[in-house]
Amino acid sequence: MSERIGEIIEANTNGFTVHCYKLYESPPLGSIIQSGIPTIFGVISEITTEPLDPSRPIIAIGQNEPTEDEIYRSNPQLNNLLCTRLTALTIGYSNNENFSHGLPPHPPRIHSFVYLSDNHYIESLAKSFDFLHLLLSSGTNDEVVSACLRQISQKLPDGYPFLIESGQALATELIGQFPRLNAILRRLS
């Protein structure tokens, strides 16, 4: 299994929020992550770095520092006052080896560990494009859809055929929405 990246701090059947263990160290937008038993899969749709305590707003402190890295060296407490969080949209779940596209019957548990998905599960996911309907109807930015498809293609032994098939699946899902389809397809190249 991949390296653990964080824990779930908020969850519902549509998605979940993860507190990353390391500041600024989140997988990229569109990555497939997994958590819990049964395993729930999500697509990273948003990444945020913010104060741990919302009542303590961030202020500019680097006016006299030569680099951004120097700000953190001069203020090591920042690593304990800030956090990186990500939001994921649920796209499927698995009981042992049976992968189901769609929303799970229950959300993942709070404090469930979160990992980057293994290539085995990404290959299972890539066999069907049923997850596209969930992404496209979720209200998320279309950039997340194209980022997800690029991330999946990079994990496959031969990702180019996957991108061709995903373009065909998008054309089916987005009938009558040619400008939207065209914009997503342009981002895939």
Q: Is 109 exposed, middle or buried (0-12, 13-18, 19+ CB in 10 A)?
A: middle
Distance CA(181)–CA(174), nearest Å, equals 6
The pLDDT of residue 29: 98
The pLDDT of residue 1: 61
User: What does the pLDDT profile of the chain (189 residues) look like in tens digits?
Assistant: 678 999 999 999 999 999 999 999 999 999 999 998 889 999 999 999 999 999 999 999 999 999 999 999 999 999 999 999 999 999 999 887 778 899 999 999 999 999 999 888 899 888 899 999 999 999 999 999 999 999 999 999 989 999 999 999 999 999 999 999 999 999 997
The structural domains of the chain, with segments of one domain joined by +, span: 4-188
SS3 state at 158: coil
Please measure the distance between the N-terminal and C-terminal CA atoms of the chain and give it in whole angstroms.
30
DSSP code of 76?
T
The pLDDT of residue 120: 85
Kindly report the backbone phi and psi dihedral angles of residue 89, in degrees, each rounded to the nearest multiple of 5, phi listed first: -95, 130
Please work out, in degrees rounded to the nearest 5, the angle formed at the alpha carbon of residue 124 by the alpha carbons of 120 and 125.
115
Spatial CB neighbours of 177, under 8 Å, sequence gap ≥ 6: none
